[in-house]
Structure 1
């Protein structure tokens, strides 16, 4: 049987109707379909699985092999986590429980009115989904993410609430890869002539003698640096 493999790298990509149509077409043509959830934002993996399951019938889902990065690299050798990398929560703090969407339940741990940590579990079977520590601004500082078996699969690190680094964890609890967000602002320059498809800003007018207009803009470009975690003797 021929196989079709689809690589999805964003939450938006999971929900695209074109992806759904192509998968259904391949299945109707008798092909075996595999979907790889290759999200660099590893803490979004569970959300991606949920969104994908909503695009297909239960019958079709049972025939599709859906894999995420933690499953693909589960046996890949890595390096043990340091003691300060293992996220723990002080459960002696005041607790506030509430339900969220997508069938999960959250418990927040508070000290003197400040949110210190949060634990998210599956509301149905109680397995651990995520542990998160917060900074003094009540923004996520780092989180530990778990699969449906309650196994640690990734660590996420934030700066002012924005994801800056993710670590992929193997089945032994070792760090396999690091994904570091190194986005930066870049300057863009456009040369626009009278026949350009891009429309000129209303403030720009070309005279008969003009052959082009120069338009400059800034744009934030996201770069992800991938680092393999390994001992020096194995690199």
Structure 2
């Protein structure tokens, strides 16, 4: 496939999880590969289950992915959109993950408003907002006890190894009994999916770009490292895990596959 300069596939026999790492030659190829995979997952979910649930990532890297999605003709009434995390700002704030996704994708397609499930950020106490969103998830999936299974969760990763709003050495990393919790970024609250909810997904896809990610990636894929220091290491879904890296981020994997 054009643009792929390295592929490493791991099969975790005890859990049947398949982890694939692909190194793409540049950010354009990275986004094109993410787009192709995401579109395939959406189409498969609709074909097999009648609808697709997808949780979006924030940050700048996935913007062109969302712009590409906005150009597609899809059965939008069968697609439900969530977010893996959200900054605790109003929905029209420049830093809002919801605002970015609406501007680049959702406001440009005929998706029903009821199919968009933003994280609330209007409570005085972020913990109440987290509980409200968990209640919405449970109502949507119709299960008060088990962890819901989202079809596709898109994730980014920071230079420090955080993903969603699961930051190093924060309490959110250890939350096991909730679907949604309050994250903490330099004293500022954020709302985030918990590790158990992310790991229940049918497919988790990391989209990572930039040489600044190399050090964290080395720890995340090391045989021994502290997941409290590198939270993306905690993401080990039971089914599919994709790491899509541009060449700047994925030098170590390019070498391993050559």
Q: TM-score of the superposition, structure 2-length normalised?
A: 0.28
The structure whose residues are more often strand, as a share, is: 1
TM-score (ref. length: structure 1): 0.30
User: RCO higher in 1 or 2 (8 Å CA, sep ≥ 6)?
Assistant: 2
Whichever of the two has the greater Rg, that structure is: 1
Higher helix share: 2
